[in-house]
Chains A and B, each alone.
Chain A
Amino acid sequence: AQKITQTQPGMFVQEKEAVTLDCTYDTSDPSYGLFWYKQPSSGEMIFLIYQGSYDQQNATEGRYSLNFQKARKSANLVISASQLGDSAMYFCAMRELHGSGNTGKLIFGQGTTLQVKP
């Protein structure tokens, strides 16, 4: 069965520094997608970054980058130059494909709470 593991329940980082949030995954499917979402206290899941299993390069989106190590089955999120507004819950998720032409469901990890200190 597919599974996402986030081993850091909580993390602290100083403002303007970089931080890495860990994510490991387990799947036997050769084709999959990995996502990172940010969830502030308001509850909405905000999409940050996506990595496809066949993508040759690590994904980057502004201050977010994904350190994708396929052999290790890890997809760590790196946030550079942390800002106070980055304080939130962060979830790693994997897309499970289902059928043809269907979007498939997301399998989420337990999340990591990030607090940015001024």
Chain B
Amino acid sequence: DAGVTQSPTHLIKTRGQQVTLRCSPKSGHDTVSWYQQALGQGPQFIFQYYEEEERQRGNFPDRFSGHQFPNYSSELNVNALLLGDSALYLCASSPAQNYGYTFGSGTRLTVV
């Protein structure tokens, strides 16, 4: 049974560009959350998607947006990239009404 799959694993972008990160949840999970983890820090919650809608959002600007598809997979989009957006982006899936979060290995984004 596959866990959470994230793509790509690594990405280098130039300041001002746009990026799309992808996440396929664990089988049976319908809720997807995205986290940003700067080097040496704990992950920070970006937003959560359930039933194709954004249900919760952390303290991130509108440059960060997302989408959830009918098959529960999700995308994270970041526009107008800043150097400070360089981080590990983690996707976590969970079944509704259950604390069983499963994390992917993340996408390491470098903005130059």
A residues bordering B, Cβ < 8 Å? 4, 33, 35, 37, 42-47, 50, 91, 93, 95, 98-99, 101-111
Contacts and interface: CB of A to CB of B under 8 A. Distances in A.
Given A106-B43, A108-B43, A98 B104 contact: no
A102 B43 contact: no
Contacts of A35: 99, 101
B55 interface: yes
A105 B42 contact: no
Contacts of B88: 43
Interface in B7-40: 31, 33, 35, 40
Interface string B82-111: 000000101010111111011111101000
Given A47-B102, A102-B56, A111-B41, 13 more contacts: A35-B101, A43-B90, A44-B106, A45-B43, A45-B103, A102-B48, A102-B96, A103-B31, A103-B95, A103-B99, A104-B56, A105-B45, A107-B45
